[in-house]
Copies of this chain bind each other. A is one copy, B any other.
Amino acid sequence: MLSPTEENYLKTIYALQLEVDKDISTNFIASKLHTKASSVSDMLKKLGNKKLIIYKKYQGVKLSDKGNKIALKIVRKHRLWECFLVKELNFKWDEVHEIAEQLEHVKSDDLVDKLDNFLGRPKFDPHGDPIPDKYGNIVENNTVNILGMQIGEEGKLDCVKDSSEVFLRYLNNKNLALGDNIKVVEIEPFDNSIRIKTKSGSITISKHVAENLYLKTN
């Protein structure tokens, strides 16, 4: 039985592996978890002993098959609970992430599967992220980051990478939601900011914002 802390480390390594292709460094994990490299180092030793990660000192880590399975289960729980909160309890999409951070550590396989059925086996969470099924199968959504698009290209907002309250409220303020059509109008090479056309007019978004917007193009 893993502690919530151990589960969070596995989940973080899982997320970082999707971000970059190489082994995950101690510092990278520390920055994501807002903790210190020394704490991470201690934990990596522990997770390595439990065969949940492949770990050689100073070489970075990756999840073992066993660790990957557990990470997927936690991701599944997190996203299913987010669905529940938004669809059944009428939370807004910007209010659910922190609560799901807690709910994802509730231990009961039966609970997850019953929740999944209750919700009608959703495939995506309120932020457009795919939900692994009970066997750990996950569809990677083929979306493109808006930074990779050219002037004149357009698509529908399909997924936001940052689920924090502060980012989602920014999108709310700009009247941007999943499914909205977005067209790239202008690209500023100096700071990579982008002028986009949305349903409620044209706005400029910073590179930092753009990094978190994924569109489905045709």
Chain A residues in the interface with B (C-beta under 8 A): 85, 88-91, 95, 98-99, 102-103, 105-108, 110-111, 114-115, 118
Contacts and interface: CB of A to CB of B under 8 A. Distances in A.
Contacts of A115: 89
Contacts of A103: 103, 106
Q: What's the number of copies of this chain in the assembled complex? A: 2
A106 B114 contact: no
Given A85-B111, A99-B106, A102-B108, 11 more contacts: A89-B111, A89-B114, A89-B115, A89-B118, A90-B114, A91-B110, A95-B110, A98-B108, A102-B106, A103-B103, A106-B106
Contact of A114 (B91, B114, B118): B91
Most chain B CB atoms below 10 A, which of A88, A106, A118: A106
Nearest to A106: B102
Nearest to A118: B89
A73 to B, nearest CB: 15
A104 to B, nearest CB: 10
A65 B105 CA distance: 31
A188 to B, nearest CB: 39
Nearest to A90: B114
Nearest to A115: B89
- Sorted from nearest, which 8 A-B pairs have the closest CB atoms? A89-B114, A102-B106, A99-B108, A89-B118, A99-B111, A103-B106, A88-B118, A89-B115
21 contacts: A85-B111, A88-B118, A89-B111, A89-B114, A89-B115, A89-B118, A90-B114, A91-B110, A91-B114, A95-B110, A98-B108, A99-B106, A99-B108, A99-B111, A102-B105, A102-B106, A102-B107, A102-B108, A103-B103, A103-B106, A106-B106
A103 B108 CA distance: 11
A91 B85 CA distance: 19
Nearest to A81: B106
A149 B60 CA distance: 69
A106 B102 CA distance: 6
